[in-house]
């Protein structure tokens, strides 16, 4: 265990070391986005929040097609949830368990992102780099908004996790109820936050392909780990990924000061991200 933790520290320190390079000579700037926890920053949460439930009211034909594609993908997965889960878990090993637990799960829980974006902010203060601090604040916002949104949906659906029943039942949904934190499988919060951060970082550093590749590889690993660890069904992570991607992109456009991006969530858990061209 100590060896694996030391590997994690090396990875995080390497990421912190790369911050000056990431923030060097970037074309994308955020002149109106806060770099501290002030009134404007808190107000931006409301801007992001408004886009979630009001998005469908502004959709056109193309947007509904995109929305339908996400829903169709989720429905197709739903019929094979148990089969796909068993396929992912078919060859258990200690190595896979360690990779899932030490390598990917902390990215979704917030442990590694806290170190990463905390490092961004500390570097921004030390180097007087306002953009680094803005990226840190944007990361916090994406993480918080993804977490809140998924929790709302979880408590509206109360889907049983794979380990809640014996045998596991992917069709067991209890709907809205006051059951506290039990039966909250749909969607995957770890996956949504991981993809929200991946979408944000890949957008901010879109001129550096490796950032997007690394970010989405980690986010995909988080999704895999949630199914492998028997915490979620495949549809949970699929919708969680779509939701997180949409929220991450929304936060990025709010950082840019653009408001022509809309996000919508249906009562069935479908997600659509819409960008209106002017």
Round to whole Å and give the CA distance between 147 and 13. 26
Summarize pLDDT for 75-121 with one digit per residue, the tens. Answer: 999 999 999 999 999 999 999 999 999 999 999 999 999 999 999 99
pLDDT in tens, 41-77: 999 999 888 876 666 666 677 767 777 888 888 999 9
Do the beta carbons of residue 191 and residue 241 sit within 8 Å?
yes
φ and ψ of 274, to 5 deg = -125, 130
Of 275, 262, 241, 250, whose CA–CA distance to 70 is shortest?
Answer: 241
| For residue 5, pLDDT beyond 90 | no
pLDDT digits (tens, 9 = 90+) for 211-241: 999 999 999 999 999 999 999 999 999 999 9
Question: Where are the domains positioned within the chain?
Answer: 2-275
How confident is the model at residue 73, as a pLDDT? 87
Average pLDDT of the chain, as a whole number: 84
Q: How much is the pTM?
A: 0.84
- pLDDT recorded at residue 109: 94
Helix (H, G, I), strand (E, B) or coil at 154: helix
Residue 178 burial (10 A CB sphere; 0-12, 13-18, 19+)? exposed
């Amino acid at each position: 265990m100590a060896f694996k933790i030391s590997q994690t520290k090396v990875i995080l320190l390497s990421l912190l070391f790369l911050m000056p390079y990431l923030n060097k000579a970037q074309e994308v700037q955020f002149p109106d986005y806060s770099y501290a926890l002030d009134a404007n920053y808190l107000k931006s949460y409301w801007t992001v929040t408004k886009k979630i439930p009001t998005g469908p009211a502004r959709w056109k034909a193309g947007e509904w097609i995109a929305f339908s594609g996400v829903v169709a993908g989720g429905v197709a997965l739903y019929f094979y949830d148990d089969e796909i889960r068993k396929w992912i878990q078919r060859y258990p090993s200690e190595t896979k368990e360690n990779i899932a637990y030490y390598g990917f799960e902390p990215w979704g829980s917030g442990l590694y992102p806290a170190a990463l974006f905390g490092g961004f902010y500390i570097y921004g203060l030390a180097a007087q780099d306002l953009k680094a601090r803005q990226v840190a604040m944007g990361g916090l916002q994406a993480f918080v908004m993804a977490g809140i949104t998924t929790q709302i949906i979880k408590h509206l659906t109360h889907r049983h996790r794979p380990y809640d029943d014996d045998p596991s039942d992917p069709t067991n949904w209890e709907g809205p109820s006051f059951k506290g934190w039990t039966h909250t499988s749909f969607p995957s919060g770890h996956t949504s936050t991981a993809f929200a951060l991946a979408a944000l970082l890949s957008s901010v550093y879109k001129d550096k392909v490796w950032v997007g590749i690394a970010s989405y590889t980690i986010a995909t690993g988080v999704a895999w780990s949630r199914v492998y660890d028997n915490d979620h069904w495949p549809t949970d992570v699929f919708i969680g990924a779509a939701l997180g991607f949409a929220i991450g992109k929304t936060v990025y456009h709010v950082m840019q000061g653009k408001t022509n991006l809309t996000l919508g969530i249906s009562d069935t858990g479908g997600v659509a991200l819409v960008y209106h061209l002017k």
